[in-house]
């Protein structure tokens, strides 16, 4: 550790740890404090990553604050926690009181239950001043639909895969709303729920066609969306060398189609996300953001340093 840098960073870390129980009086200072905390985690986390690359697994079991765990990936589904936390921060910086986080493709509900828990933890972060998070999930219950569209990669995904008992899933949920049916139909029911602006969406439907239908959730009026909606795509690349995905098949093909028909609402990769994380991970390359250039809040200043 270099002399001079260390005390400054240490100071940041101590300030952010010490401040955690009391929110700053003005949301702007709260955002500043969260930013400083993030930077301290980044600096210390990077050092830790060099000597202890498995630190996130250990940190899961340490009594750290939730925002520290989000920054260190010390949670079972860090990709979901990141998007929800970043969306809540954006909402707070814009002075909004609530957001919605959605998962498209729920299966047995493991991801959605994580989102419920993360929503409760984020709502309790003092510096977010009680920003509320509604959670909503979508699934048809019968697993993947039959398909012979090559863009769905049916050579890998089989019809009926992920079939689940919807009632069991529903009973396992604590607070999430659950829209059952084909997303081609249910995304239009979303608007009628009258939920706060959508700030985070996890797309996990495997197929190109299902993702094209699901992306219509981003075609709702401006006031029902944050100006920048964080989108996680679970199936951008498969783990197996037998699934060869890319811009012409699967989720990425659906994103390309969205961009071709929505020039004022581009979906763009969150470039360089891995450089903003102390522990770079594959999910960093699975993040896109919807930019709503015509949203009345898109150009509103949220830089806490100005
Ligand atoms: C990989 S699983 C989701 C896993 C889940 N996100 C998790 O973390 O456990 C994919 C899910 O997408 C659902 N699905 C695929 N196409 C769909 C469609 N057109 N409408 C509704 N659900 C669909 C399937 O039923 C399946 O449960």
For residue 186 and ligand 1, the question of a CB distance below 6 A is answered with no
What totals of helices (H) and strands (E) does the chain contain, helices first? 10, 7
Q: How far apart are CA 150 and CA 153, in angstroms?
A: 5
Cα(143) to ligand 1 centroid in Å equals 6
CA–CA distance from 165 to each of 102, 136, 169, 252 (Å)? Answer: 20, 18, 7, 29
CA–CA distance from 223 to each of 27, 89, 143, 298 (Å)? Answer: 21, 17, 33, 11
Domains in the chain, CATH or no CATH each: 5-291 (3.40.50.150)
Residue 104 CB neighbours (<10 A): 25
Sign of the alpha-carbon torsion through 151, 155, 157, 163: positive
What tens digit of pLDDT does each residue of 4-13 get? 444 444 544 5
The angle, 0 to 180 degrees and rounded to 10, between the axes of the packed helices 78-93 and 110-123 is 40
What residues does 290 pair with on adjacent strands? Answer: 229, 267
pTM, two decimal places: 0.93
Report the nearest atom of ligand 1 relative to the CA of 145: 16
**Whose CA is closest to atom 14 on ligand 1?**
205
Q: Is residue 18 pLDDT above 90, yes or no? A: no
For residue 45 and ligand 1, the question of a CB distance below 6 A is answered with no
For residue 106 and ligand 1, the question of a CB distance below 6 A is answered with yes
For residue 34 and ligand 1, the question of a CB distance below 6 A is answered with no
The tokens of 111 are what?
């991801």
What tens digit of pLDDT does each residue of 262-284 get? 999 999 999 999 999 999 999 99
pLDDT number for residue 305 = 86
Cα(105) to ligand 1 centroid in Å equals 3
For residue 205 and ligand 1, the question of a CB distance below 6 A is answered with yes
What tens digit of pLDDT does each residue of 72-99 get? 999 999 999 999 999 999 999 999 999 9
Residue whose token pair is 């690359």 = 53
Q: Is residue 198 pLDDT above 80, yes or no? A: yes
Average pLDDT, the chain: 93
For residue 295 and ligand 1, the question of a CB distance below 6 A is answered with no
**Whose CA is closest to atom 24 on ligand 1?**
143
Q: Is residue 20 pLDDT above 70, yes or no? A: no
């Amino acid at each position: 550790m270099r002399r001079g840098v260390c005390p400054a960073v240490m100071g940041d870390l101590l300030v952010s740890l010490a401040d955690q129980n009391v929110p700053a009086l003005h949301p702007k200072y709260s955002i500043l404090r969260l930013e400083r905390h993030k930077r301290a985690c980044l600096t210390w986390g990077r050092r830790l990553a060099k000597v202890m690359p498995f630190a996130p697994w250990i940190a899961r079991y340490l009594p750290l604050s939730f925002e520290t765990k989000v920054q260190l990936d010390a949670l079972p589904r860090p990709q979901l926690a990141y998007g929800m936390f970043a969306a809540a921060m954006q909402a707070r910086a814009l002075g909004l009181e609530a957001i919605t986080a959605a998962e498209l493709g729920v299966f047995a509900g493991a991801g959605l239950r994580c989102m419920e828990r993360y929503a409760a933890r984020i709502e309790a972060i003092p510096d977010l001043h009680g920003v509320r998070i509604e959670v909503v999930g979508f699934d048809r219950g019968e697993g993947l639909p039959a398909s012979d569209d090559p863009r769905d990669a049916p050579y890998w995904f089989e019809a009926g895969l992920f079939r689940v008992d919807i009632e069991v899933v529903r009973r396992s949920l604590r607070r999430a709303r659950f829209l059952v049916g084909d997303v081609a139909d249910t995304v239009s029911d979303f608007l009628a729920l009258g939920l706060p602006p959508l700030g985070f969406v996890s797309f996990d439907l495997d197929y190109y066609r299902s993702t094209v239908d699901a992306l219509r959730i981003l075609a709702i009026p401006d006031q029902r969306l944050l100006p920048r909606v964080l989108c996680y795509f679970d199936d951008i690349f498969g783990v197996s060398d037998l699934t060869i995905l890319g811009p012409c098949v699967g989720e990425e093909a659906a994103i390309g189609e969205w961009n071709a028909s929505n020039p004022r609402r581009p979906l763009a990769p969150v470039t360089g996300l891995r450089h903003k994380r102390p522990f770079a991970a594959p999910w960093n390359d699975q993040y896109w953001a919807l930019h709503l250039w015509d949203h009345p809040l898109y150009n509103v200043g949220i830089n806490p340093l100005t």
